[in-house]
Structure 1
Amino acid sequence: MRDLERRYRKLLRVYPTSYRQARGAEIIGTYLDLAESERRWPSILDVTDVLAGGIRERLRAVGAADLLPGVRLAAVLSFITATTLAGFWAAAETVTVSDTWGSPSFGPFATTGIVVWASWLLAAVVHVLAPARVHIAIGLALSTTAAVVPVAALFELPRPYMFVLVPQAMLGFLALAIPTHTARRHRLMPLTVAAAAALIAAGALSGRSTWFYRFSYGGAFLPEAGAALLLTAMLTAAILSLRGDTRGLWAIFVLLTPIGLLALYPLTENIAPVVGAGHADFRVATGTAAVVFLLGGTTLVTALAIRRRSSAAVDTLASPVHERCPQCGR
């Protein structure tokens, strides 16, 4: 057996066992036929395709095939939220003054966060002009969001707080599932909302003598953004439910984690005294973020389990009852 075939077989374990037994050989044969003769490892696109197919089949097996459309809807809402935050913070960093109080700055901008926000706004532009490449642009923005922390530490530059970067990264991670084949008017929404957020920030902060008081990535704004995201998801779910569409409900379950992370700052401030910490230090913030991830993941898994049981019950009720023949007893 060639190395490539063996690796495809290992990769195919993401599919349910019954599906692998029925179609595994066909799937592997297709990938091998399309692969170059000298290739020894599956390509990134093939790996992504197999993983997506395996997850889809496993969800179908537990009666939750409509979770994937819900994830795509959550991705759209996450991308709109991420670009809106980027527009607000980018304008805030641009119009505020950082040297009045001797605060450190990044050139004409308040912090190195301007690079992060610019990358997210670029992703919004790419989403409009070249939707097929939006996932690459989102991946670049995610990489920039992660890289700003070590780079700022290495060169001793100011950066946004972690309770700002962590929810931004989570929103971007979900945005990777955004569909590319949508109408242009729909693709314009993230960029339009980001521009509106930038105008609001510019109007609120322009002309201030210092950003020390008016702009320090205050924690009060992010929970409101999370509440707006939750209300939007709930309204969308209610409208879709009227048509018997469950995408909105699954989108709410998927969005619970980023919504919780958007409230990370006030959660950490309230939890610190409970655990005996003098202030919301790194240990408390990390623990709080871990709890948010755990609760969000547990809620989604519980919803999947409930859906699986309800689907199994429906299948049992729908299956015909076999009655014995009064003559042969079979």
Structure 2
Amino acid sequence: MSGLERRYQRLLRAYPAEYRRARGAEIVGTYLDLAGPGRRWPSPADAADLLRGGLRQRLRAAGADDLIPGVRLAAVLAFLTATALAGAWSVLELRPPPAAWGVRTVGPFVSIGVAVWAAWLCAAAAYAVAPARWARRVIAAAMLLTLAVVPVAALAGLPRPPLLVLVPQVGLGLVALALPDRLPAPMRSVPLLAAAAAAFAQLNLQPPVDFVATSYQWVGRQILPWAAAVILAVVLLLGAGLALRADHRGGWALATLVTPLGLLSLHILAGAADGLLHGATTPGWAALAATAVVVGLLGPALLPLTITLRGRIRRPGPARSGDRCPTCGHTAERVP
């Protein structure tokens, strides 16, 4: 066995054991035939293809065929929310307090957060006009900028948006990285339109007073839980409609959005926990940090746990019309 074949065999471990026994030699042989002369390592494209195929087969074996479409649905909703929030926050940045107040600002803006929201608006524009792979790169850059604004503000001594606002934006961005590649052009423009609508609403609903940095905290406590409630309502309605057609994308989307929903509702969740344990009326920083850690760990743990449980409760039986083959993914056309 050559070194290249051994390396393909290692990558093949991404597939379930039964599938490897049935098709492993055929798959490895195909990749070896297509490999160029003198190649010693699988190409990155081959490695990614094998890992994707293994993931698909494991999901099919666990009865989780709808997971990836559900994650993509969650990504669309997360990106829509992130861009709408960026539109609202960008308007708040346009009203710095008067110089006589002695409050530090960043030129004509309240804080360096204006760069963060501009990056998210650029991501919405990129998704509307550019291929999805480029839009995902802009989203990743916006996430990195959202994270970098904290140490940059500390080192430069400049004001920034609070973590209560920045952390949910990062959570939404992580889910948004799974945006689908193929959507109709009008659908791809919806995040940009949502950002414009949110900015217009904030411009007209905001009281005509000068904005100060502490207003980020107050407005965030009002807007973010409502954003979580809207996402939850939309997912539940979509999930109920899809479930009528035996489509479980809505359930997987909800499981994917657990962490972003929790981060958007962080002040409420931390307040409930702190009030229950210590009788506090408003959550302290310790309660907020502990709740953020729990919420951040809950979401990533929920998906694999759900997949494992679903795979264990499945019962093999005769194929019926509409069932999917765990190997090829095709649906049965008749009862045997």
Normalising by structure 2, what TM-score? 0.81
Residues 1-330 of structure 1: pairs in structure 2 closer than 5 A: 8-24=8-24, 27=27, 33=34, 42-43=43-44, 48-97=48-97, 99=99, 101-132=101-132, 133-205=134-206, 207-212=208-213, 214-216=215-217, 218-276=220-278, 280-310=283-313, 312-313=314-315, 315-316=316-317
Cα distance in 1 for residues equivalent to 2:278 and 2:260: 26
Cα distance in 1 for residues equivalent to 2:179 and 2:162: 27
Q: After superposing the two structures, state which structure 1 stretch, 262-271 or 85-94, moved more.
A: 262-271
Q: C-alpha displacement at 1:206, in angstroms?
A: 6.4
Q: Deviations over 1:233-290 (max 9, x none)?
A: 1111122223332211221122122111111122223333555598745443232112
Cα distance in 1 for residues equivalent to 2:233 and 2:288: 25
Q: Give the match for residue 326 of structure 1.
A: none
Runs (5+) with no aligned partner, structure 1: 320-330
Cα distance in 1 for residues equivalent to 2:264 and 2:36: 43
| Percent of matched pairs sharing the same residue | 45
Cα distance in 1 for residues equivalent to 2:25 and 2:16: 14
Contact 1:96-1:207 at 8 Å conserved across structures? no
Q: Deviations over 1:273-314 (max 9, x none)?
A: 55559874544323211222344345444533443244x22x
Determine helix, strand or coil for the equivalent of 2:287.
helix
Q: Deviations over 1:191-223 (max 9, x none)?
A: 111110011111223632233564445322111
Cα distance in 2 for residues equivalent to 1:37 and 1:103: 66
Cα distance in 1 for residues equivalent to 2:182 and 2:256: 22
Normalising by structure 1, what TM-score? 0.82
Contact 1:261-1:289 at 8 Å conserved across structures? yes
Contact 1:4-1:39 at 8 Å conserved across structures? yes
Q: Which amino acid aligns with 2:229?
A: A
Cα distance in 2 for residues equivalent to 1:76 and 1:5: 39
Q: C-alpha displacement at 1:232, in angstroms?
A: 0.9
Q: Give the match for residue 323 of structure 2.
A: none
Runs (5+) with no aligned partner, structure 2: 321-336
CA RMSD of aligned residues (A): 3.1
Q: Which amino acid aligns with 1:191?
A: L
Contact 2:165-2:220 at 8 Å conserved across structures? no
Q: After superposing the two structures, state which structure 1 stretch, 242-251 or 45-54, moved more.
A: 45-54
Contact 2:128-2:188 at 8 Å conserved across structures? yes
Contact 1:95-1:206 at 8 Å conserved across structures? no
